[in-house]
Chains A and B, each alone.
Chain A
Amino acid sequence: MNAVLITTFALALREIRRHLMRSFLTVLGIVIGVGSVVTMVTLGNGTTAAVQQQISSLGANILQIRPGQGFGRGGGGGSQPQPFEADDIEALRQQVAGLVSVAPLVQSSGLAVRNAANWSTTIYGTSNDYLKAQSWSVDAGRTFTVAEEQAGKTVCLIGSTVRRNLFRDENPVGASIRIRDLSCQVVGALAARGSSMGPMDQDDVVIMPVKAAQRRITGNQHVSMIMVSVDPAYDSKTVQASIKSLLRERRHLQPADADDFNIFDTQQISETLRSTTQMLTGLLGAVAAVSLLVGGIGIMNIMLVSVTERTREIGVRLAIGALGREVLLQFLVEAVVLSSLGGLLGLTLALCASLILAPMLNVPYIFDPTINTVAFVFSALIGVLFGYFPARRAARLNPMDALRHE
């Protein structure tokens, strides 16, 4: 039986070689089908991963609390929403359970100057808690001391973009830079984060204690955002609810009034975006699956035509003493070899296309074993199905009828 199998295998390979054009046409549909399905899904997965990564760079379990009614609503109200105060921070810290850190954020912009070099950048007034929530560390120097934060001393941490533009290769720690009219000592250089949020460069920033920024840059006690990081052991929804009720009370809102602040939950956004990109991946995959199906129908047509063409051949083989099952085995092996070959070529095509397209779309290339396996198995099944059944019909004919077949 083994010798027969080897012989049959050799026979099948010889038939494939002998009819290269027919074999090529048979395989083409599968190559394109498998190639497009795997490419689409791979790029879709890459997009999902890219979005995930951008979201997680905001920090995990982070709530951003801003004055105003949130996206698209606060603007129309006319009255300027009341900003947060330093007391609000303290109240949140003491009265809401489950908060790991509470960081105020004051944002402004201005020119940073050192000697002859100057650089227009973003200025954040905040505390070490902000760095902790973002899991952001310093490359050189240190973060703020408690004394510096409480006294609002004019010290600062600089992002890697600012460092590069003002200091090039020099050590910035201990140097003095001027921000607007303010002379400020650099105590630390922040690690590079990369511009993971699209065009926004997160490293183009100067960070100083919130009191220093309020007093010397913005000139008021307002806090434009509060960044809270939630203990993973606590339910984010519950924590949000207690923050909401505390802030409503502190801002003297009546039960009928709408919130004049909003809480932005990175977790929730991340989930929404993930489900959106997954849906898009599914959609693309479905479109590509249609092309795989069309490829399958192509294989079916070629196999049907070639079996008609080969019915006489089957007749000859039967007449000279081949058993029906031997002829069938040959056709089966041919079909399996052809469609597996097509599947492999398709996977290779998808690999090449994904590796070329992924950098162009700015998404990572992620190998997905599931879709590769599924597409390959599907292509093999189509080949076997459409190669086997027409051949079985022919092998069951009377040898004489097969020989006379026109």
Chain B
Amino acid sequence: MTAEPLISLRGITKTFGDGAAAFQALKGIDLDVQVGDFVAVMGPSGSGKSTMMNILGCLDTPTGGEYVFKGIHVEQLDRDERALLRRRYLGFIFQGYNLLARTSALENVELPLLYRGEPKRTRREIAMEALRKVGLADWSHHMPAELSGGQQQRVAIARAIVTQPEVLLADEPTGNLDTERSLEIMRLLEQFNDEAGITILMVTHEPDMATFARTTVKFRDGLVEAIEVGQRQDGAAP
């Protein structure tokens, strides 16, 4: 794992508010993420890990510093260019699932393909394939309200991987789930990391979940406190 890193952050800062009320959430982050890595981002609440994830996901812009993704200087892109970057390379998994209500699992998974301009038939096929991968092929016509939390998160994962992204960004994906469902979700992520080679960045509070990662990055007070590499022994997940 040498060569050019997939993601490279240099001196990233993020300040919310101005003047006396200003709060610096990130105080200068340097971080490299290699292709195919599975990174767990840990740290106490308010340590800036979610803020960094949002910046990595192009959902938010840094106040200062450089963010290079595949050689592209993201901090110089405009709104639409960032949207296209998300569309092409990134997949998101949220703690609260964020599925569209009153919209079937299949239609939720199809959504990103819609914005890629795929024809309807192709959309159906690819979306069904993604649902199959997360083990929900039989639930494709159920509404989110009819699915359990674990199932909803699996639909969200299917939606995130349906476009075959290079990077999957997961913000506390198991935060709302019990241990057994959490492990299911983690095994899925692990599988996509191993088999499809998707680079994964995951924010989590739970050390158990972090053991699935190859690299653990610890945050404290808006700075990277420690980076631990090679925690996981391949193929020996609990």
Binary contact readout B151-174 vs A (1 if CB under 8 angstroms, 0 otherwise): 000000001000100000000000
Binary contact readout B200-224 vs A (1 if CB under 8 angstroms, 0 otherwise): 0000000000000000000000000
CB neighbours of A313 from chain B (8 A): 100
Q: Residue B235 at the A interface, CB < 8 A?
A: no
Q: Given A7, A320, A400, which contacts B159 in the complex, CB threshold below 8 Å?
A: A320
A318 to B159, CA, bound (A): 14
Quote the shortest CB–CB distance from B91 to chain A (angstroms).
Answer: 8
Q: Residue B19 at the A interface, CB < 8 A?
A: no
Q: Residue A369 at the B interface, CB < 8 A?
A: no
Using known A-B contacts A7-B117, A322-B115, determine if residue A316 contacts B83 with beta carbons closer than 8 Å: no
Q: Residue A147 at the B interface, CB < 8 A?
A: no
Quote the shortest CB–CB distance from B14 to chain A (angstroms).
Answer: 12
Quote the shortest CB–CB distance from A220 to chain B (angstroms).
Answer: 90
Q: Given A3, A316, A326, which contacts B98 in the complex, CB threshold below 8 Å?
A: A316
Residue of B nearest to A19 (CB): B102
Quote the shortest CB–CB distance from A46 to chain B (angstroms).
Answer: 46
Using known A-B contacts A320-B92, A320-B111, A323-B80, determine if residue A400 contacts B86 with beta carbons closer than 8 Å: no
Quote the shortest CB–CB distance from A308 to chain B (angstroms).
Answer: 14
Residue of B nearest to A326 (CB): B115
CB neighbours of B90 from chain A (8 A): 321
Please tell me which stretch of B52-60, B125-133, B187-195 contacts chain A, meaning at least 4 of its Cβ atoms lie within 8 angstroms of it. B52-60
A400 to B115, CA, bound (A): 19
Q: Residue A398 at the B interface, CB < 8 A?
A: yes
A324 to B82, CA, bound (A): 11
Quote the shortest CB–CB distance from A399 to chain B (angstroms).
Answer: 5
B interface bracket (residues with beta carbon within 8 Å of A): 20 to 34
CB neighbours of B45 from chain A (8 A): none
Q: B88 near A321 (CB under 8 angstroms)? A: yes
CB neighbours of A312 from chain B (8 A): 98
CB neighbours of B76 from chain A (8 A): none
Q: B83 near A322 (CB under 8 angstroms)? A: yes
Using known A-B contacts A321-B83, A323-B83, A399-B59, determine if residue A316 contacts B114 with beta carbons closer than 8 Å: no
CB neighbours of B59 from chain A (8 A): 319, 398-400, 403
A400 to B116, CA, bound (A): 21
CB neighbours of B116 from chain A (8 A): 321
A317 to B83, CA, bound (A): 10
Q: Is the interface of A mostly helix, strand, loop or mixed?
A: helix
A312 to B73, CA, bound (A): 28
CB neighbours of B114 from chain A (8 A): 7, 11
Q: Residue B87 at the A interface, CB < 8 A?
A: yes
CB neighbours of B48 from chain A (8 A): none
Q: Residue B176 at the A interface, CB < 8 A?
A: no
Q: Given A3, A321, A400, which contacts B60 in the complex, CB threshold below 8 Å?
A: A400
Q: Given A316, A322, A325, A400, which contacts B54 in the complex, CB threshold below 8 Å?
A: A400
A114 to B186, CA, bound (A): 110
Quote the shortest CB–CB distance from A195 to chain B (angstroms).
Answer: 61
Using known A-B contacts A320-B112, A321-B87, determine if residue A403 contacts B98 with beta carbons closer than 8 Å: yes
CB neighbours of A325 from chain B (8 A): 80
Q: Residue B94 at the A interface, CB < 8 A?
A: yes
Residue of B nearest to A319 (CB): B92
Q: A320 near B100 (CB under 8 angstroms)? A: no
CB neighbours of B87 from chain A (8 A): 320-322
Q: Residue A200 at the B interface, CB < 8 A?
A: no
Q: A3 near B102 (CB under 8 angstroms)? A: no
Q: Given B60, B79, B103, B115, which contacts A320 in the complex, CB threshold below 8 Å?
A: B115
Binary contact readout B93-109 vs A (1 if CB under 8 angstroms, 0 otherwise): 01000111011000000
| 26 A/B residue pairs, CB under 8 Å, sorted by A | A3-B117, A4-B117, A7-B117, A18-B102, A19-B102, A313-B100, A316-B100, A317-B111, A318-B83, A319-B57, A319-B59, A319-B98, A320-B86, A320-B92, A320-B159, A321-B83, A321-B88, A322-B83, A323-B84, A324-B80, A325-B80, A398-B60, A399-B60, A400-B54, A403-B59, A403-B98
List the interface of chain B (C-beta within 8 A of A). 54, 57, 59-60, 79-80, 83-84, 86-88, 90, 92, 94, 98-100, 102-103, 111-112, 114-117, 159, 163
List the interface of chain A (C-beta within 8 A of B). 3-4, 7, 11, 18-19, 312-313, 315-326, 398-400, 403
7 further contact pairs, Cβ within 8 A, besides A3-B117, A321-B88, A324-B79? A320-B111, A320-B159, A323-B115, A324-B80, A399-B60, A400-B54, A403-B59
